[in-house]
Amino acid sequence: MERNYDTQDTQEKTPRALLVGLRLGNDRDFDVSMEELGSLAEACGMEVAARMEQSLSSPTPAYYIGSGKVAEIQETVELLDIDYVIFEDALSPSQLKNLQKEIEASVMDRTSLILEIFSRRAKTREARLQVESASLQYMLPRLVGMRDSLGRQAGASGSLSNKGSGEKQIELDRRKIERRINELGRELDAIEHDRDIQRRKRSRSALPLAALVGYTNAGKSTLMNRLLTTCADTAGGSVKEEKMVMEKDMLFATLDTTVRKIEPGNRKDFLLSDTVGFVSRLPHGLIKAFRSTLDEVRFADLLLNVVDASDERFREQMRVTEETLRELGAETIPCIHVMNKADKIMEPQELPRISGNRIYLSAKQGYGIYELLSMIEEKLYAGSRECTFLFPYSRGDLVNYLNENAAVRTCEYLPEGVKITASCREMDQERLREFLERE
């Protein structure tokens, strides 16, 4: 058992949290998980005042921890003026109910903490609806015990929907939540339909899509902004502020998926999407609610798995990302492992370092960005071959299309039309087959 008390004055307004963990047997990941729980609490605007743990062979059915430990937690809550007691694992509805009766502070588990963070960070209408849906699905089985002044159900013949004036308040709450979940489902279906339309429009542009994935706070948004600014600098321009995405050194800084066109200038253009970050034991309800958003990953031509190379737990974080991608059905998509923040563990002159499909770089410092762009182009435009086309002058749109989406080698203006030799993808070869020059 470990007790780490912070006895400094607690007059500040920041809510104080007590972290509680249950070490089951030889759990090597326990300390890492507790550290991550502390980071999640801080991301939720809390101050971690203390940490307590207990070793058991299995959780207890009533309290998850032992009854003696519950009394010790209550003493700590009073001593340190704790506002939130946060458990490292998910609590069952009955465990949550029993703990709330014994502890004079708000009791949360890992799932409810992540939901709270998502609720605070959701900005767009879609993200807010997704978080509300996941929160209500989490709350539904935990309504038991939330109402004390309830009467017995009145007798009713036949339908259960007519229980008379004695109907329990808990049943009314359950129906209200179920109705709202259904409403949210319909709204999210409509948004998903609109997203599908946008996705089809993008596919018609024939620009390939790369998606940023990875553990939360690995630097995905920083990398997207760096790619935008680097390409703008190469072209002698600047990036409009509204094109930049928010970047901040915290867990789940951004929830909304954004898609930007990357125009490297001397390389071929592509689309890049930034998605919500992953975390170990990401609540299933959140994955389900954010499925329409995460579908950007499934439809990508290339994944950029951004990894914080300076984090000693990066291998575990890569494993979590791979498991989440499997759950989304995106495990077979080609992938580049972007080992970000490598400037913290390597000298600048050592960067970038490329090994197979892995590149060590620093998005913040700008080391390795051009090399990454080369790797992206090579992956996205793999399978290209050189073709010669002859377009009539009436099809200037196709000439522009090739200039934007293929590597044009030569362009000749002949009496019969525009003759172009270009290295292009198979899908473009098929699309422009009627204009191919026969050998």
256 annotated ligand binder:
yes
277 annotated ligand binder:
yes
158 annotated ligand binder:
no
**Whose CA is closest to 84, among 126, 38, 118, 151?**
38
342 annotated ligand binder:
yes
220 annotated ligand binder:
yes
196 annotated ligand binder:
no
398 annotated ligand binder:
no
29 annotated ligand binder:
no
288 annotated ligand binder:
no
343 annotated ligand binder:
yes
Cβ contacts of 405 within 8 Å, gap of 6 or more = 206, 207, 268, 269, 424, 425, 428
25 annotated ligand binder:
no
214 annotated ligand binder:
yes
Rounded to whole angstroms, the Cα distance separating 357 from 435 reads 36
69 annotated ligand binder:
no
Computed from CA positions of residues 419, 421, 425, 430, in that sequence, does the dihedral angle turn out positive or negative?
A: positive
364 annotated ligand binder:
yes
330 annotated ligand binder:
no
101 annotated ligand binder:
no
Which residues lie across from 17 on neighbouring strands?
Answer: 48, 84
83 annotated ligand binder:
no
DSSP code of 303?
A: E
Q: Alpha helices of 122-276 — where are they, by DSSP H?
A: 125-139, 169-204, 220-234
253 annotated ligand binder:
yes
Q: Alpha helices of 205-269 — where are they, by DSSP H?
A: 220-234
Rounded to whole angstroms, the Cα distance separating 123 from 253 reads 11
210 annotated ligand binder:
no
3-state secondary structure 69-80: HHHHHHHHHHHH
173 annotated ligand binder:
no
Determine the 3-state secondary structure of 307 from DSSP: strand
DSSP code of 252?
A: T
77 annotated ligand binder:
no
Cβ contacts of 375 within 8 Å, gap of 6 or more = 336, 354, 357, 359
Q: Alpha helices of 81-168 — where are they, by DSSP H?
A: 93-102, 110-121, 125-139
30 annotated ligand binder:
no
* β 47-56/385-391 pair status: unpaired
Residues annotated within the binding site for Mg(2+) are: 221, 254
Residues annotated within the binding site are: 214-221, 252-256, 274-277, 340-343, 362-364
Residues annotated within the binding site for GTP are: 214-221, 252-256, 274-277, 340-343, 362-364
